[in-house]
Amino acid sequence: MEIEKENDETSRAEHSKPEICMSKYENANKEKVKNENVTKNGIKKRDEESSFIRSLKPKVREFKRTIYMFRQSFLAMAGLSIVIFYLIVAALAPVLAPPEENQKDVYQRKVHYDEMHKDPSPEHPFGTDSMGCDVYYGVIWGTHISILMGTVIVGITVLIGSILGAMAGYFGGKLDDILMRITDVFLSLPSLILAMAIVVSLGRTLENIMFALIIVWWPAYTRIVRGQALAVRENKYVEAARAVGASEARIVWKHILPNCISPIIIQATMDFGSVVLTAAALSFIGFSYAGATTTEWGMMVSAGCRDITSGQWWTATFPGLAIFFFVLGFNLFGDGLRDLLDPRLRR
């Protein structure tokens, strides 16, 4: 019996040996396949990264060439420097011209009748006006208001004009006719007179002035984007997007508008200064929310003009120079961008 048991155990051990060997072999194969997959995935990932880097190289070269060309233009660099200067002044207004104690509104200058018509001095770098208000404080905080107004007005007009222009140019037909006839009506009216009528009708507030200028400015962007959309919609990649079943909204958003961005940027940059100039003109002729103590350049020039005849030249000169260089900087910067973004001018 004992001999039979030993024989049975020996036979079972001999039968289990091949099974153990087979399981070790299978585990080794699985580990090898796993390592091969990891290696392949790593190689594939590196290839994708390298192809992505290769695809970026032409764009990086083009960007470097653009920066180089922009730096070679003296006027463009001068415009950019002026724009950056105004942005820094607007951001640092609380530091450059801190409000006085108990001053509730930072956009309203405090009246000091005991300091009327003071010449420029270290205490008042730009002098004081007929009510003793600091002209320097008004110029600094006027930069803040001008940047705010320009950003809101230009941003909203670009949004409205781009959407309407892209729809009119891409879809065409009756929609194009209706939108363009409405645009022609607004373009046929003198912009300043239309803005004056809107402000008088709605009331002389900052919000109504910005609304009036938005109404005046959006047709120009609609015309520009429509012209670009008419040309872009005939390109092969737009037809390919239609062929693969892309929706109309996706084609407009992904293919039409991105290819209209260059003229929009150029026009918006140059309009930034024009918007501030128009707002100052409205204030100068009396169609403004601004009071006599408000830090608004147009109102300060209007109030200062009455003091020039009595010898206080600084009350209108410094706000006027602020308007002049603001508009000049954005116009020069816009011209530089046009030279860079227009392929015909880059050759």
pLDDT in tens, 318-331: 999 999 999 999 99
Residue 6 binned pLDDT confidence (cut-offs 50, 70, 90): very low
Pure H helices in the chain = 2-72, 74-91, 93-96, 135-171, 173-188, 191-202, 206-232, 236-243, 248-251, 261-284, 297-308, 314-341, 343-346
pLDDT of residue 144 exceeding 80? yes
C-alpha–C-alpha distance, residues 32 and 10, integer Å: 33
pLDDT in tens, 229-239: 888 888 888 88
Query: Which amino acid, one-letter code, is at 179?
Result: L
- Percent share of the chain, pLDDT over 90: 19
Where is average pLDDT lowest: 155-164, 278-287, 322-331? Answer: 278-287
| DSSP category for residue 190 | -
pLDDT averaged over every residue in the chain: 79
The residue that leads in pLDDT, 37 or 90, is: 90
pLDDT of residue 299 exceeding 70? yes
Residue 104 binned pLDDT confidence (cut-offs 50, 70, 90): confident
Query: What is the mean pLDDT of the segment spanning 60-80?
Result: 77
| DSSP category for residue 32 | H
**Number of Cβ within a 10 Å radius of residue 94:** 12
Backbone phi, then psi, for 116, in 5-degree steps? -70, 140
pLDDT at 266: 87
For residues 221 and 160, is the Cβ–Cβ distance under 8 A? yes
pLDDT at 5: 45
Residue 82 Cα to chain centre, angstroms: 17
Which position has the token pair 């002098």? 127
C-alpha–C-alpha distance, residues 289 and 272, integer Å: 20
C-alpha–C-alpha distance, residues 210 and 16, integer Å: 90
For residues 339 and 76, is the Cβ–Cβ distance under 8 A? yes
- Percent share of the chain, pLDDT over 70: 79
Is residue 172 left, alpha or beta, with left meaning phi > 0 and alpha meaning psi from -120 to 50? left
pLDDT at 346: 54
pLDDT at 324: 94
C-alpha–C-alpha distance, residues 212 and 208, integer Å: 6
pLDDT in tens, 237-265: 888 888 888 788 888 888 888 888 888 88
pLDDT at 49: 53
Residue 214 binned pLDDT confidence (cut-offs 50, 70, 90): very high
Q: How far lies 217's CA from each of 124, 281, 292, in Å?
A: 38, 15, 28
C-alpha–C-alpha distance, residues 201 and 188, integer Å: 20
Q: Max CA-CA distance within the chain?
A: 137
Query: What is the mean pLDDT of the segment spanning 205-209?
Result: 83
Where is average pLDDT lowest: 159-163, 250-254, 343-347? Answer: 343-347
DSSP 205-223: -HHHHHHHHHHHHHHHHHH
For residues 223 and 183, is the Cβ–Cβ distance under 8 A? yes
In terms of Cα–Cα distance, which of 217, 242, 237, 241 is closest to 155? 217
In terms of Cα–Cα distance, which of 82, 81, 100 is closest to 143? 82
Two structure tokens written together for 273: 């200064």
The residue that leads in pLDDT, 290 or 5, is: 290
pLDDT in tens, 162-205: 999 988 888 888 888 999 999 999 888 888 888 888 888 888 88
Residue 16 binned pLDDT confidence (cut-offs 50, 70, 90): very low
Two structure tokens written together for 27: 């585990």
pLDDT at 284: 84
Q: How far lies 23's CA from each of 11, 18, 35, in Å?
A: 19, 9, 18
pLDDT at 255: 82
Q: How far lies 72's CA from each of 21, 65, 69, 347, in Å?
A: 76, 11, 5, 15
pLDDT of residue 272 exceeding 70? yes
Q: Work out the burial of residue 276: count CB atoms within 10 Å of its CB; fewer than 13 is exposed, 13-18 middle, 19 or more buried.
A: buried
pLDDT at 323: 93
pLDDT at 2: 47
In terms of Cα–Cα distance, which of 196, 86, 145 is closest to 298? 145
| DSSP category for residue 244 | T
Query: What is the mean pLDDT of the segment spanning 113-134?
Result: 81
